[in-house]
Chains A and B, each alone.
Chain A
Amino acid sequence: MFDDIKKSVADINQSMYDFKDEETDKDFYREEAGFTKEIVEKVSTEKNDPEWMREFRLKCLDIYNNMEMPNWGPETDDLDMDLISSYVKSKTGMQGDWNDVPEDIKNTFEKLGIPQAERESLAGVGAQYDSELVYHNVKDEVAAQGVVYTDFESALHGEYADMVREHFMKLVPPTDHKYAALHGAVWSGGSFVYVPKGVKVEIPLQSYFRLNAAGAGQFEHTLIIVDEGADLHFIEGCSAPKYNVANLHAGCVELFVGKNARLRYSTIENWSKNMYNLNTKRALVEEGGVMEWVSGSFGSHTSYLYPMTILQGDHSKMEYTGITFAGKGQNLDTGAKVVHNGKYTSSVISTKSISKDGGIGTYRSSVTINSGAKHSKAVISCDSLMLDSKSRSDTIPGIDIRTNDADVGHEAKIGRISDDAVFYLMSRGIKEEDARAMIVSGFADPVSKELPLEYAVEMNNLIKLEMSGNM
């Protein structure tokens, strides 16, 4: 159904992500670095939290302080939490009209093409700059269907406050892991979406996250509830300019897919290569519901990212399509998790991983089929392509089946770019660099096909950008 919104878009400028805007003290409020009780309380006050949220934050900080770092996955030794600022905010507040967004911030989003995308192909847009949303708008006809799409802070105080409280960090409890606890303590920004029963949102909603401040953390919270029989496509994009100090992204995404509802969640992540992306995403799917993930991970210095789906209801389904491109200095540990609880549930995980220039790409997954999940089906396939001999690609699949009555297939392939294929393409007049990019794009094609066209174009440009130079 999303095919009909595909439009052609101009190629992106290759340098488009790496521009900086000075943040002056006059225009920005910046919390001091580190994570202490005082800082968490200040953030809570600044955000005018309801009392329960203030208590929740402090409880989370406690959990954070008492939890160990993950003892698996890529190193995070260079991430000094005492140097990360939890909260950076423009002093102007959130706007519902691009014209009211401060000039420098607006320029940033203009360069990223967000306002144009909104005009052309989106039902609603949220734009977060550092810790807070600076812009939020949803098209009238979509709002008229009863669809709620607001910044998280408004949601906490508005008509849906109870619904938010009922769901907030229930799917990803703060005890889940250290960074989930940290997120609970200092979360800021993000979106709340509610699609009422039976409402089908024909065109996607999008949130764009831009972390502009050096040495800052971004901790946005996204909560989406798609009620019975409803249908939504949500897109998130992320980018940041490159700094020499570490930045941290520890967002949290909680998705509730109701009975016979469908949610597609697409992400193109291009954080700068000083970013630690320790993000948590989880979906709960009721009977007959469908959860679709499309995920492109290109940026960050280190990523831990495994969107998880709990197939709770009978006949619920999930499909995960992901691609990871690990270049020089990057260690990207990505994959997917799924838990089958309901009967006749099915999951398909298909991932592609590309590593180049010493980059490390690890596919890590976990598929659990619990004893009640009779007649369930899981198919996992992961392909890796290493572009040179100094890069690494690992596959770590975990499969745990607790019923005799399940059908599970797993296939993994690791390969290198074939010199013969490069020669073949070059013999038709194609330059070596283009031939390699063509092979890599072709490898990524099953994922690009799942993306809205403008994102597919962006992804192909990112691949070309990654492929150019030192070939």
Chain B
Amino acid sequence: MSEQNLLQVSDLSVSVDEMQILHKLNLKVNPGETHVLMGPNGAGKSTLGNTLMGNPNYVVNEGKIIFDGQDITNLSTDKRAAAGMFMSFQNPLEVPGISLSAFIRNAIHSQTGKPIKLLAYKKLLESTMELLNMDPSYADRDLNVGFSGGEKKKAEILQLLMLSPRLAILDETDSGLDVDAVRTVSKGIEEYQKRENGALIIITHSTKILESLHVDHTHVLVKGELVASGDGSLVEEINANGFERFIKD
């Protein structure tokens, strides 16, 4: 099992509204690894995240996505989640009428096929919210409704920790957060790495969130193609010099 890639993306080409965004992209993620995907705006980073998660607006023209040995290229989003995938949204949606707490419990039930006992669930939820410095009252508030940007991102990380997937895609989780919120969010991500030995694909164009995280691989995406890959030190280089050297005309 450990020798097998958790995620294997081969020759993946994706288009949105009939415009091709990703070109023959290849990527391998092993269990527990943390990958960082960087690149200038419009490079296709979020497209990759959405495609991996099965957003129907993103059409796979070519290539395959294998997760845990299973071809999931045409699998529906909910089944990908049940198989152990998760995505933290750049702009989490507001859903009135269902509380954050009820929603997560419902999601756990849907994924595992059995309900989680209320008391055990409440305890776990409370302690996880505490870890993320979330006010307990948020549990009973409607999902993301009226949450500030920071609260929404914390709620995403809360879901990550509660659902314990094997691969989490974090799409711009650090964007729009103040220093304290970034620290809290990265504490949550660290917890996920060590508690679940969870694999990560962190999509970002800043590096604040990566300061306290161990990074195994860094990839640079430009105009829908992976133009460079390296270890964690690549992050620092980009931090110092930007993407200029990767952009060719």
Q: Which residues of A are at the interface with B, using a C-beta cutoff of 8 A?
A: 418-421, 423-432, 434-435, 438-439, 441-446
Complex Cα distance, B86 from A432, in Å, reads 16
The 9 closest A-B pairs by CB, nearest first: A442-B97, A445-B97, A429-B111, A429-B81, A428-B107, A426-B77, A424-B93, A429-B110, A426-B78
Q: Nearest chain A CB to B158's CB is how many angstroms away?
A: 12
Check A443–B81 contact: CB distance below 8 A.
no
Q: Nearest chain B CB to A100's CB is how many angstroms away?
A: 42
Most chain A C-beta atoms within 10 Å of own C-beta, residue among B56, B57, B95: B95
Give the interface size bracket for B toward A: 20 to 34
Known contacts A423-B55, A428-B110, A428-B159; is-contact A442 B95 (Cβ 8 Å): yes
**B82 on interface, CB distance cutoff 8 Å:** yes
Complex Cα distance, B89 from A424, in Å, reads 8
Check A423–B56 contact: CB distance below 8 A.
yes
Give the residue name and chain of the B residue nearest to A444 (CB): B97
**B37 on interface, CB distance cutoff 8 Å:** no
Q: Nearest chain A CB to B210's CB is how many angstroms away?
A: 23
Contact of A420 among B93, B107, B110 (CB under 8 A): B93
Complex Cα distance, B102 from A438, in Å, reads 11
What are 18 inter-chain pairs, A to B, with CB distance below 8 A?
A418-B93, A423-B77, A424-B93, A426-B76, A426-B77, A427-B77, A427-B87, A427-B89, A428-B104, A428-B163, A429-B81, A429-B110, A429-B163, A438-B95, A441-B97, A441-B98, A442-B96, A445-B97
Complex Cα distance, B46 from A420, in Å, reads 14
> Which residues on the B side are within 8 Å of A421 (C-beta)?
93, 95
**B63 on interface, CB distance cutoff 8 Å:** no
A-B contact count (CB 8 A): 75
Complex Cα distance, B95 from A174, in Å, reads 46
Complex Cα distance, B104 from A418, in Å, reads 20
Complex Cα distance, B57 from A161, in Å, reads 67
Check B95–A419 contact: CB distance below 8 A.
no
Q: Nearest chain B CB to A354's CB is how many angstroms away?
A: 12
> Which residues on the A side are within 8 Å of B81 (C-beta)?
426-430
**B106 on interface, CB distance cutoff 8 Å:** yes
Check A430–B95 contact: CB distance below 8 A.
no
> Which residues on the A side are within 8 Å of B95 (C-beta)?
421, 424-425, 438-439, 442
**B142 on interface, CB distance cutoff 8 Å:** yes
> Which residues on the A side are within 8 Å of B53 (C-beta)?
423, 427
> Which residues on the A side are within 8 Å of B104 (C-beta)?
428
Complex Cα distance, B96 from A444, in Å, reads 9
Q: Nearest chain A CB to B84's CB is how many angstroms away?
A: 10
Contact of B57 among A419, A428, A443, A444 (CB under 8 A): A419
